[in-house]
Every structure is written in C-alpha cells, then in structure tokens.
Amino acid sequence: MNTTHTTRILNAVDACFDAEIDFLMELCAHPSTRGNEQSAQAFVAKELTERELHTDTWNVKVKDIAHLPGFSPVLGDYDNAINVVGTHRSREQSGRSLILNGHIDVVPVGPLDMWHAPPFEPHIEQDWMYGRGTGDMKAGIASNLFALDALRQLGFAPAADVFVQSVVEEECTGNGALACLQRGYQADAALIPEPFNENLAIAQVGTLWFQVHLKGIPVHAAVASSGANAIEAAIPLMAALHEMEHRWNALEHRHAAFAGHSHALNLNIGKIAGGDWTSSVPSWCVFDVRMGLFPGQDLEAAKLEVEQVLRESARQQPFLRDHPPEIVFHGFQAAGYALSDDTSRIATAAISALDSAHQATNGRPLEKMAITATTDARFFGLYANTPALVYGPTAEAIHGFNERVSLDSVRRITQATALFIADWCGLEKI
C-alpha cells in the first residue's frame, strides 16, 4: 500500500472517530451481562443493517452445537442467547476473506459502591471511557465496525467477504463463537480486538470450570463435633487443588510460548455457597473453580486429574471418605490455543499483514505476547483451521471496578484494522 493511500485511510478513521465514540457510549449503556444481551444485540443488528450488511440474527441452540468439538456444557437454558452477524459480500472476490469477531457479553459488575460511577452509564474523563464492557470488549466491536466505515467513506469496500460477528457466551463457554462456525461462517483469517494493549496474543491458555459439591452432617453447633462441617471440609480440598496448580505450572509442563511465565495457569476459587443457619453445622457446600491449561494440554486428562486430586484429598477426611465430593464440569471446557504453533503460509501472511498495519499506525513493530486468559480465538484456530489474530486496545480493570478503555488506543486499533482489511481483503470501489 502506498503512503498516500495509508494516510487517507488513517485520516478517514479520524474523521469517523466522534461517531465511533458515540456508538461505543451507546453500546456500553446496554447492561449485557450473560442472559441480558438482547437489547445490545438489537442495537448492533440495527447498526449493521444501516450499513447495508446482510444481517443474520439467531438464537443459539444447544442441540445444534452440543456434538461439536469445543462445546462447553451449560447450566440453564439458552432461550435468550442471541448471536448477530453482518455479512459483506464482495463483488470482485479478489482478496482474502475475514471474520471480524467480538463478544457482546460482559461480566457482572460486583458491588456498586466500589464503582466511582454507575457501570452502565459510561462516561469519559480525558483519554478514558469508563464503564463495564468498555474495554472487554465493546471497544473492539466498535473498531471492527468503524474500520469498515472509514473505508466506505473513501468509497471502498473490502474485495473479499467480511463477516462482522457479535457473539454471546465468550465469558463462560465460547458457545456463541462455536454457533457461528456451526452456521457456516468461515474465512481465511479472523481478527478479535480483545483488549491486550495493542499487542498480538500469540498464545492463550485454556480454561476449565468445575463445581465441587460437598455434603456434611447437620447438628446443633452445641455438639458440633458429632456432625460434619461441609464448609470447613472444602478448605483442604482447595489446598490440594492449589498444589495441583503448582505442579501444572512447572517448567517441564509449559508450552513454549509460556516458557517465561512462572505462573501462567491460575486456579481461582471464584464462588462459594453453603450452610443454612449460623448455629447449625452446615450440611452442604458448593464451590466453583476456574483452572487454566496450557495449549496442547489434554482436556480430558486434566479433568481426570482434577477428580483424582479431589477424591484423594477427600479420603483424608472421616466423613468425606464415605461421602466423596460430587464434581460437575460445566461452563468453560476450553482448550488452549497458540497462533505461534501455526506455521502455515496463511497464518504467517496474516501476522505479517497485521504487523505492517500496526507499524503504520504506531511507528513500531507489533509486540507479541502469550496471555493467561482465554478468548474465542480457539474456535477459529483449533476447529476451523483459521488463524485468529487477537489484537485490541489498551484497557484497565477489565472484570474489575472502574473498567476503562483508552480512546486514543481505540483510534489506533481502528486505524490498524482498516489498514489490515485494505491489505488482507484488498479494496473494491463501492
């Protein structure tokens, strides 16, 4: 791409940027936690349709995807799980096709008094937009859309098919992205602007979720020693799981991309419930666990090991010995994924095209990193033979209080995305 062309694209993103901020602000006002994404998806669908993309809105159905590799089982129903995809069909079909993916679901906000402003009333202070989902990852949905807008403003459309996806379920299963594959959406590459500080994520961990159900013997606290305390029984089990976490992180188990990470795999006790009454020994306890996995680590073997560790630890406790914990795997059953392992020509070309786009925007080479979280990239990379580039803006406090995204960074990501599309797909006159 010549310099004049590059400059025109960068300027076109600038010209559309106020509209992009307005779009992001409105999108972030939709409280699209899991199960509540409908209004946000309706807004995205309207915006796609206004841009004359062919818009496909559908209800994700478990029965359609449960047999597919990468599926994660869910508790509860999917009546409210709506995916949206906008399709641009190229007239010339001379370039390489592209999926621009983003997830619409956001994680819960936690106690409101820890936020300095209401999380679903986004606001801007200097370079930062605050609000739940601003960084993770509605800014990415905005940059996908407005990169195409900038090209359109110059009178161009991609010279290959482009699919703009807004999916549900990224934060708990990935089944929204899986449903897009099942529906037939495939391309030569995918770009997912998750907020990793304008770096390219070249490897990501897998994620395993499970629930541990414990029973106890309820007696009056006055005779506590004659009962069995289900909540306190959980404590040694958690310690045993943390020992397993330590083993899995050992140098000899690390994927090459994580060689420099001493603790890439985190075991998180994310939720706990149990007991019914302060003066009764609790008869039940349930705790929820998230554990990371390296790319290439076998998911079924990992699950077996979790079960073994819990059963072995339970055997050390008098009551649990005869009443072993029940382990329920639900939510994320996600394998790790490393783009760095993909040595195909198409993957190399995609990384190189993104590197050029990034350099034209930032003036320095694209930095690559291995991330200790998971993203929907694994579906494209592992199950559709499609290199997935995870590259998005700078954000802070994602999943925390006062989440925020840098607007200047969003602008640069939008510019790099527009340049990447122009290079990867080529351009045709509208």
Of 90-98, 136-144, 196-204, 241-249: span binding Zn ion (CB under 5 A): 136-144
Q: Which is nearer to Zn ion, 95 or 393 (CB)?
A: 393
Smallest distance, Zn ion to C-beta of residue 171, A: 7
Return d(Cα 135, Cα 253) in angstroms, integer. Answer: 32
SS3 content of the chain, % helix, strand, coil (to 5): 40, 25, 35
Q: Which is nearer to Zn ion, 90 or 134 (CB)?
A: 134
105 belongs to the catalytic site: yes
Return d(Cα 110, Cα 318) in angstroms, integer. Answer: 37
Check 170, 198, 245, 403 and give the catalytic one: 170
**Backbone φ and ψ of 234, nearest 5°:** -70, -25
Angular region, 155: left φ>0, alpha ψ -120 to 50, beta rest: left
Smallest distance, Zn ion to C-beta of residue 17, A: 22
Q: Which is nearer to Zn ion, 6 or 406 (CB)?
A: 406
Among 20, 56, 136, 245, binds Zn ion (CB under 5 A): 136
Of 57-65, 129-137, 209-217, 226-234: span binding Zn ion (CB under 5 A): 129-137
Smallest distance, Zn ion to C-beta of residue 133, A: 9
CA torsion angle for 416, 417, 419, 424 (degrees, to 10)?
130
CA torsion angle for 352, 358, 359, 362 (degrees, to 10)?
-170
Cα–Cα–Cα angle for 356, 96, 334, nearest 5°? 85
Of 132-140, 148-156, 174-182, 260-268: span binding Zn ion (CB under 5 A): 132-140
CA torsion angle for 123, 124, 130, 136 (degrees, to 10)?
110
Smallest distance, Zn ion to C-beta of residue 270, A: 16
149 belongs to the catalytic site: no
Beta pairing partners, 165: 85, 101
Residues 173-212, one symbol each (x = binds Zn ion by CB under 5 A, - = not), give ---------------------x------------------
Q: Which is nearer to Zn ion, 20 or 403 (CB)?
A: 403
Smallest distance, Zn ion to C-beta of residue 13, A: 22
How many of the chain's residues bind Zn ion (CB under 5 A)? 3
Check 20, 37, 105, 342 and give the catalytic one: 105
Q: Which is nearer to Zn ion, 177 or 353 (CB)?
A: 177
Smallest distance, Zn ion to C-beta of residue 86, A: 20
Strand order in the sheet with 123-125: 123-125, 128-130, 404-406, 395-396
Closest CA to 173 of 124, 206, 150, 197: 206
Return d(Cα 20, Cα 17) in angstroms, integer. Answer: 5
Smallest distance, Zn ion to C-beta of residue 327, A: 27
Closest CA to 389 of 426, 416, 422, 362: 416
Of 113-121, 131-139, 201-209, 347-355: span binding Zn ion (CB under 5 A): 131-139
**Backbone φ and ψ of 334, nearest 5°:** -110, 125
Among 44, 137, 228, 347, binds Zn ion (CB under 5 A): 137
Window 278-337: residues binding Zn ion (CB under 5 A): none
User: Which two tokens mark 3?
Assistant: 């310099």
Q: Which is nearer to Zn ion, 177 or 350 (CB)?
A: 177
Of 124-132, 134-142, 228-236, 338-346: span binding Zn ion (CB under 5 A): 134-142
Window 347-406: residues binding Zn ion (CB under 5 A): none
Give the relative orientation of helices 38-50 and 3-28 as an angle to the nearest 10 degrees.
150
Smallest distance, Zn ion to C-beta of residue 248, A: 23
What is the CA 349 to chain-centroid distance, rounded?
24
Of 49-57, 137-145, 219-227, 259-267: span binding Zn ion (CB under 5 A): 137-145
Q: Which is nearer to Zn ion, 188 or 194 (CB)?
A: 194
Does 161 help bind Zn ion (rule: CB under 5 A)? no
Inter-residue long-range contacts of 241-249, CB under 8 Å, 24+ positions, other chains counted: 241/267, 241/269, 241/289, 241/291, 241/306, 241/309, 241/310, 242/267, 243/309, 244/305, 244/306, 244/309, 245/291, 248/291, 248/292, 248/293, 248/294, 248/297
Q: Which is nearer to Zn ion, 136 or 245 (CB)?
A: 136
Number of C-beta neighbours around residue 318 at 10 A = 10
- Cβ–Cβ < 8 Å for 66, 177: no
* Contacting positions for Zn ion (CB under 5 A): 136-137, 194
Which residues does the annotation mark as catalytic? 105, 170
